[in-house]
Every structure is written in C-alpha cells, then in structure tokens.
Amino acid sequence: MPSTLRVGTSRGRIEILQTLRSREAVIFTFAFPALLTVLLGTIFDTPVTPGEATTHSQVLAAGMIAYGILSTAFISVGVGIAIDREDGTLLRLRGTPATAGAYFLGKILLVFFATLFEVALLLAVAVALFDLPLPHDAGRWFTFGWLVVLSVVACTLLGIAASTPAPSARSAGAVLNVPVIVLQFTSGIFVHIAALPSAMVNVSALFPVKWMGQGFRSVFLPDALAAEEVAGAWEPGRTALVLGAWCVIGLALSLATFRWTDRR
C-alpha cells in the first residue's frame, strides 16, 4: 500500500491544482491580506512614538502575515473540508488508500503553497507603500522560516478540527470567521498590542495568533520595538514553544473530531 507521505503529497498536488483552477479563490486568497494592509496601513500611518522612525503601518504590515496565514489555514481549509464532506468528496476518498493523515498532509501542503505567494505579495506592498525594512541577516530569515512552518501546521490542523462543528458547508464560513476576527483585535494584529487592556491580552496569549504576530514583528521591526510588547521582549523561545504545543493540540483535535461523512 502507498505510504501516508506519498498519498498526502499526491493529495496536496491535487488540492493545489484545484485551487489554481478557481480564479476567484486565487485572487481572494492571495490579495485580501495585502488589501487589508493597504487600507489599515494608510489610516494608521503615524510614528509608533514621537521621533520614532517606525510607523504603525509597518507594525501592522509585519503582524498581518499572521492574519494571512490564519485566514488561509483556518477559514479556507475549514470551509473546504465542510464542502468536501457535504458533497461526498470525503466519502469517495475513504474508499481509496488515502488515510486521514494523508488528507491532513494534503491540506497543509496547499496552505504552504498559498502562504508563499500571499506573504510575497503582502511584503511587496508593505515595502513599496510603507517602507517596511526587510531583514539583512540570516538569523531573522531563519526565524521567519520556522515561524511560517509552525504557524501553517498549527492553523491548518485547527482548521481541520473546526470544520466538524460547522452545521453545514453554507454556514461554515460564518462560523469560522468569528474566532478569526475576534483574535485579530485581541491579539494585537489590527490594533497595536500596547493599546489593548492587559486582561484581553492575557486571554489572547492562550491562543497562537498573538504569538504569531509577535514573532513576525520580531523579524521585520527594530529590536527597540520589543519594549512595546507585553513582556518587553520578543520571546522567540516561548513563541516556538507555544506554536509547537498548538501543532500537537491541533493534531490531537483533528484526529479526534475528523469525520468522513456529515452524519453526526
């Protein structure tokens, strides 16, 4: 029998090709985070502190990478699985060598592919419009790499798990959008984290989005801006630990809740 890795890789290729055939889905997925960055960055294009060269638009652009990954991995994957379950695609896959693990791997590969282009477009817009500085040392790009990997895996697995409680494919988008939008505000993505109440930030610290945003800010912003974070530091070790823990939690939830059919 084919291995889970081989079947999952093949499934990922199919997922990517299906996405590319949907022009509207490609445009929306790749362009929406960049569009939000333009709109919000234009509104909040002021220095973080008087005399500081870094602007709120640059802080926003760095953190918006977290939103792009979350929206693609959590919402798009969750809605896609709800549709696959409702139209019988998952039931047909069950009769093939595709295991649940292979199906999960296919979704993760799809999100990696989408994230590559999505982040590239977002950074191009941020550099062109808001002068976001790109890192010049390999250490920051290495941090960027493991942040993307852990964020994509964690959010995709959570999206798989969240697809099960959705009452139907039609309502899945509305159900999954609620936690995403709430976490963008409470985690310091849409609003500068220094302006948020401490109680709100403490609650959001239990979820991965806050750590994703903080991690990506540490890659693109000056080290002096670490003082604006809750702990007054970038905390890369704790960020990796939290995101790694959510990868494990997401996998456990996905395996426990995943269903091939819509029968409850």
Percent of the chain with pLDDT over 90: 45
Summary mean pLDDT of the chain = 88
Quote the pLDDT of residue 20.
83
- Residue 97 is assigned to a structural domain of this protein: yes
For residue 264, pLDDT beyond 60: no
Assigned domain for 70 exists: yes
Does the residue 264 lie in any domain? no
User: Residue 253 has what pLDDT?
Assistant: 93
Q: What is the structure's pLDDT at 1?
A: 53
Which residues sit opposite 55 in a β-bridge? 47
Q: How confident is the model at residue 214 (pLDDT cuts 50, 70, 90)?
A: very high
Mean pLDDT lowest for which of 3-7, 21-25, 226-230? 21-25
**Is 262 part of a structural domain of the chain?**
no
List, for residues 103-134, the tens digit of each pLDDT value: 899 999 999 999 999 999 999 999 999 999 99
Q: Is 47 strand, coil or helix?
A: strand
Backbone angles phi, psi at 47, to 5 degrees: -60, 145
- For residue 156, pLDDT over 90 is answered with yes
> What pLDDT is attached to residue 79?
86
The gap from C-alpha 88 to its chain's centroid, in whole angstroms, comes to 27
Q: How many CB atoms lie within 10 A of CB 202?
A: 13
Residue 263 lies in a domain: no
Cα separation, 40 vs 43, whole angstroms: 5
Residue 66's pLDDT is 94
Domains in the chain, number: 1
Is residue 125 assigned to a domain? yes
pTM of the full structure: 0.90
* CA distances from residue 106 to 53, 73, 110, 224 in whole angstroms, order as listed: 42, 12, 6, 40
**DSSP H helices in 22-55:** 23-43
The answer to the question of residue 28 being in a domain is yes
- For 225, counting Cβ atoms within 10 Å of its Cβ (0-12 exposed, 13-18 middle, 19+ buried), the class is buried
Domain range for residue 50? 4-257
